[in-house]
Structure 1
Amino acid sequence: MSDSLKGKTIVIVGAGPGFGRTLALRAAEEGATVVVAARTASRLDEMVDEIRAAGGTAHAATVDATDPESVRGLRETVAQHTDAVHGLVYGAFAVPSMKPLAQTDHEQISRGIDLSVLGALRTTQEFTPLLEACAATADVEQTDAVPASSSVVMMASAVIHHSRERYAGYKIAKTALVALGHSLATELGPRGIRVNTVAPGYIYGDTLRSYFEHLATKYGGTVEDVYAHTAEKMDLRRLPSEREIVDPVMFLLSAAASAVTGQTLTVDCGEFHT
């Protein structure tokens, strides 16, 4: 997909140090102007510096997706750099409560829904005019004259496919996010905006590796033992890397997915069959 996003603007909300950083770097490699947005300014500045050092174009903007005024401010900041947005990726995330529902404070569940679901809705609502402008003005490069479109990708989780103990609060929020994606796909489709979700399973990067180190210390054994035990549940007997989660997102952002909307793509090395 060399230069598949050349001349496009991609906004990544919830651009953290793992998946978000990897996605930002990859989108910039493919020619996009990348806007990374999250709560921590210093982390965003590091990403922008890294992208620019590699020859890419990037901007940073702080945002609190639970605050409508902050989301509006993000859109205004982006509008200073462009009059059209090709892709919006919503991946804002907070560590969920891992307690059974009987012991979970309702406020914890509400906060999860506010960030994961209402945050995605607020952001999409604010950016709809810029996304629509891209769909209306983009040059059609395909020889079969497929209408141009813009793309929203929301990051769900493979937790939507199971009901294991202690994941209930997280599952509630991510399942609602998928439902939101379905409805937005229907509403925004006539305006040339595609909406899809990606549901990763485990993502093997620094964060998960640190957790495996914790488990290895707690229960004995090595990180490799914990990895192997976890990977036994996957058809491919391994866990997806950050890059392997980024690639499907890149596909959904690209013209190669011009007819794909309202879908949820599970990326988990075969833990669940959907």
Structure 2
Amino acid sequence: MTSGSLRGRTIVIVGAGPGFGHTLARRAAAQGATVVVAARTVSRVEEMAEAVRADDEVRRAGGTAIAAPVDATDPDSVRVLRETVEGHTDAVHGLVYSAFAVPSMKPLARTDHDQISAGIDLSVLGALRTTQEFTALLEAGAAGPATDAADAATSSVVMMASAVIHHSRERYAGYKIAKTALVALGHSLATELGPRGIRVNTVAPGYIYGDTLKAYFESLAGKYGGTLEDVYAHTAERMDLRRLPSEREIVDPVLFLLSDAASAVTGQTLTVDCGEFHT
């Protein structure tokens, strides 16, 4: 990814969290994009947008960030988000959907149906609501001039799935159901929206080694004995590269899919997991 490859673009991130979402917002803005960070917690997205705007690299690139609250399970809230974005621009060039529900982590025999429904509502139907609401703006973004890296201008939707789609380990079933459905949604939207110049892809991360995962590993170390490093090494043994991907290593493929360098890529699922699964 070259500096400025998203210059002048508007990128909307729905479900922007303090880890992956913040890193994506900062790095997209550092390439000159206007980034809309959207999530349920108003204070979180406002703090995130302020931090992105204050970043020296972002300032040099001419990027910026806008905070906007949204509840992706509420159609009215998603509509308000679109209206907020329309107040700043008449075209959107990229939409990243990363909102998800924390899985119940129980076998299906003991999983409440309401928990599965809630996961599908946020992870899958939320992605559909958001894409439907932003289709006209994304189509307008695809109508802009192409860079010399592409034969035709396109806009891009990237949905964040999970490498859980590749395994059937006990207790992950509810999460796998939602994320597998999200991949299927991405395939169908790619077919339907392709003629309008809108590309749709999914990224399936494995473990993302950031603060959240570190805290979880520390809890495992305290529960079973050993150290954070022991838990990390044990987990990384399953990866071909014998390590876990960082937040930046998950963000980079997303930035690629948002850029004109991926102008012919649509309907695909990219697994980023340091080689835990071969797909």
TM-score band, normalised by shorter chain: over 0.9
> Residue 30 of structure 2 aligns with which residue?
29
Report % sequence identity.
83
Residue of structure 2 aligned with 1:186, choices 191, 196, 199:
191
Shift in Å, 1:45: 1.1
Instruction: State the AA in 1 paired with 2:158.
Output: V
Q: Which residue of 2 aligns with 1:159?
A: 164
Looking at structure 2, the residues matched to 48 and 107 of structure 1 have their Cα atoms a distance apart, in angstroms, of 33
Give the Cα separation in 2 of the matches to 1:140 and 1:252: 15
Q: Whole-Å Cα distance in 1 between the matches of residues 89 and 207 of structure 2?
A: 35
For these two proteins, the number of residue pairs brought into alignment is 272
TM-score norm. by structure 2 comes to 0.96
Looking at structure 1, the residues matched to 33 and 147 of structure 2 have their Cα atoms a distance apart, in angstroms, of 17
State the partner residue of 2:98. Answer: 91
Distance 1:237 1:59 in 2: 38
2:104 touches 2:115 (CA, 8 Å); kept in 1? yes
Task: Output the CA distance in 2 between the equivalents of 1:100 and 1:72.
Answer: 36
Q: Secondary structure at the match of 1:107?
A: helix
CA-based RMSD of the aligned residues comes to: 0.8
Question: What's 1:141 paired with?
Answer: 147
Kindly report which structure 2 residues correspond to 1:122-271, keeping only aligned pairs within 5 A, or say none. Answer: 122-136=129-143, 138-142=144-148, 146-271=151-276
Matched, 1:18 2:19: yes
Match of 1:121 in 2: 128
What are the superposed Cα offsets for residues 49-83 of structure 1, whole Å, 9 maximum, x if unpaired? 11111223111010000000000000000000000
Report runs of 4+ in structure 1 exceeding 4 Å deviation: none
The gaps in structure 1 that reach 5 residues or longer are: none
Q: Using the alignment, how far apart are the partners of 1:114 and 1:98 within structure 2?
A: 17
> Does the alignment pair 1:46 with 2:51?
no
- In 2, Cα distance between the equivalents of 1:109 and 1:13? 21
* Letter of the 1:69 counterpart: D
Provide the C-alpha distance between the structure 2 equivalents of 1:261 and 1:66, rounded to a whole number of angstroms: 26
SS in 2 for 1:271: coil
